[in-house]
């Protein structure tokens, strides 16, 4: 586990990380379907915290190698294309800013 320390001294999971309970999730996320995800109407823009605002489907550019492309999001977290397929018209690449594989398009 990586991220913010929990009340038990163990680090909390990042958004998009595996979980069993919401208490394991950091950045304001909750455990949904065993994945730390941002609540409805909030999004992780790559800084590890759930924040309100934005379009909900994509994040600001700067996380994809092509600055004109944006990262695709699902349920408030960047889609990790190491484990999921990218939406149509997007491709999988590693993002240093999010520290995971993401869908860009």
Q: pLDDT tens for residues 49-103?
A: 888 765 444 444 457 888 888 888 887 778 889 888 999 999 998 887 777 888 9
Number of Cβ within a 10 Å radius of residue 87: 14
Distance CA 105, CA 17 (A): 23
Calculated CA dihedral for residues 55, 4, 17, 68, nearest 10 degrees: 40
- Over residues 17-25, the mean pLDDT reads 89
Determine the 3-state secondary structure of 64 from DSSP: coil
**Is the pLDDT score of 16 beyond 50?**
yes
The domain segmentation of the chain, as residue ranges, is 17-52, 58-104
How far is the C-alpha of 75 from the C-alpha of 78, rounded, in Å? 8
Residue 46 has pLDDT above 90, yes or no: no
Strand blocks (E) in 1-105: 30-32, 35-37, 42-44, 50-52, 73-74, 77-78, 91-95, 100-104
**pTM for this predicted structure:** 0.49
């Amino acid at each position: 586990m990586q991220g913010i320390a929990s009340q038990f001294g163990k680090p909390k999971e990042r958004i998009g990380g595996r979980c069993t309970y919401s208490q394991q999730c950091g950045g304001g996320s909750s455990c949904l379907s065993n994945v730390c995800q941002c609540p409805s109407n909030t999004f992780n823009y790559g800084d590890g915290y759930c924040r309100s605002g934005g379009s909900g489907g994509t994040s600001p550019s700067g996380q994809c190698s092509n600055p004109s492309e944006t990262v695709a999001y699902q349920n408030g977290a960047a889609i990790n294309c190491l484990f999921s397929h990218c939406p149509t018209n997007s491709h999988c690449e590693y993002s240093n800013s999010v520290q995971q594989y993401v869908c860009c398009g």
